[in-house]
Amino acid sequence: MRRMPSGFRHAAIVGKYQAPGIRAVLEEIAHFLVGCGLEVSFERDTATATGVTDFEALSPQQMGERCDIAVVVGGDGTMLGIARELARWNLPLVGINQGRLGFITDIPMGQYKEALAPILSGDYEEEQRTMLEGEVWRDGRRIFEGLSLNDVVVSRGASASMVELRVDVDGEFVANIRADGLIVGTPTGSTAYALSAGGPILHPSIGGWVLVPIASHTLSNRPIVLPDRGEVHIGIVAGKDVSVSFDMQNLASLLHGDQVRVRRSACKVRFLHPRGWSYYATLRRKLRWYEGVV
């Protein structure tokens, strides 16, 4: 007997389609969702790359317009990519991880049935994560724009020396930073590149950003936590092969005088977790805070 879910009717499946053996995994999850009474579609690139033809293939826009939940199978990188695409439609996302559990793909593959069944019935923990939107301005005109769940990173080229960046917050000059680069990170991004560069961890419920220099050439240039209202401007003062990355979406060859402008996006990402999910437990697991505990 098929059990009809409460609230969810049409699920989209997104997968890390480069992973070996992913087609069988995705089809297994799809048939499980069908057995739970949902209509199921595949994200178009996932269907094309894996050769899945038994389910309708949708673009991200079609997913946002027609689906009411998305199941993402892969790692945090897979989730980051589709989260940016779907944020404007407020579509809730559930993450199933194939390898080591991620910060935002938190359901082990071997436990997806036990985790998904209650979620589909309306028993879940929901959280919303803020996003960044940014632009690159050159000679008075915008030449690039992007959306980030993790961070916006301005950095030097692989073979170049340091960069010099002018930082202004809400129109007020803050500092000239000479470093390998600068990270503006959300609370979600505070456990990504910003953490590796020595930044603090921000709880997702905090309305703030981290501003973290990368290998600063001045010891007094330290990470700072900023309120996430207003705007951060990063001007390119000096340096070669400078680039800006919006969650790994790169714009290379920034020129002296270019300015990167970053603000909070009106869009948020909705994550659904199994009941009892804990952010602190995620940190404990991923950062091995339990080591040494008997």
Known catalytic residues? 76
CB 197 within 8 A of CB 133: no
Q: Where are the beta strands (DSSP E) in the chain?
A: 10-15, 39-43, 56-58, 69-74, 93-97, 107-108, 125-138, 141-148, 151-155, 163-169, 172-179, 181-185, 208-214, 224-227, 231-238, 242-246, 249-254, 259-273
Cβ-Cβ contacts under 8 Å for 142 (sequence gap 6 or more): 135, 136
DSSP-assigned beta bridge partners for residue 209: 226
Residue 48 φ/ψ, nearest 5 degrees = -65, -45
| Strand pairing report for 208-214 and 224-227 | antiparallel
Please say whether the beta carbons of 78 and 70 come within 8 A: no
- d(CA 119, CA 10) in angstroms, rounded, equals 14
Closest CA to 271 of 100, 70, 118: 70
Beta bridge partners of 254: 242
| ∠ Cα 241 247 252 (to 5°) | 20
32 by DSSP, 3-state: which? helix
